[in-house]
Amino acid sequence: MNDKKQNDFSHLDEKGLPNMVDISSKINTKREAVASCIVKLSEKAYKKIQDNSISKGNVINVSKLAAISASKKTYDLIPLCHQIPLNKVDVNFDFNDKNCSIIISSFVSTDWKTGVEMEALVAVSIAALTIYDMCKSIDKSIEITGIVLKNKKGGKSGDFERL
């Protein structure tokens, strides 16, 4: 890899080694991110979640708490992420009866020096994995797909909206 390519990635130093970006000179600004994913379940597991009859407890409530908690710990999970004071983390679950799927979306905001895209992505990922964990005894074929950043606002790179 040549130096030009290495320097295109902010998480690599001039030698191509991992580097936590220095944000000390940045100013705090409003930053937001929205992410989503899809959890596809068997009809049996899907209905049990809707009926709140999973033996491990209320799947949606536990998944929401797991997502919020995980988003606050993103810096512990992703080695080069900064610890960010979060203003808001919200996680929503939309049921699609036709496909026996749950669309999970997260909204994360901060007034800080760096963005919250990773926190939003971690939130939906952990929510989906929590659903899997709580339902795996009923349905081991659960699929987690489409983990994406839907949009972000603020920061040097500007706004982004997935079309």
- How would you write the pLDDT of the chain (163 residues) with one tens digit per residue? 344 444 466 778 788 888 888 899 999 999 999 999 999 999 999 999 999 999 999 999 999 999 999 999 999 999 999 999 999 999 999 999 999 999 999 999 999 999 999 999 999 999 999 999 999 999 999 999 999 999 999 988 899 999 8
Is 65 contained in some domain? yes
The CATH number assigned to the domain holding 71 equals 3.30.70.640
Tally of domains in the chain: 1
Q: Which residues are catalytic?
A: 133
Is 96 contained in some domain? yes
Is 69 contained in some domain? yes
Is 57 contained in some domain? yes
Is 6 contained in some domain? no
Which domain, by its residues, includes 35?
Answer: 28-153
Is 72 contained in some domain? yes
CA distance 101 to 132: 12
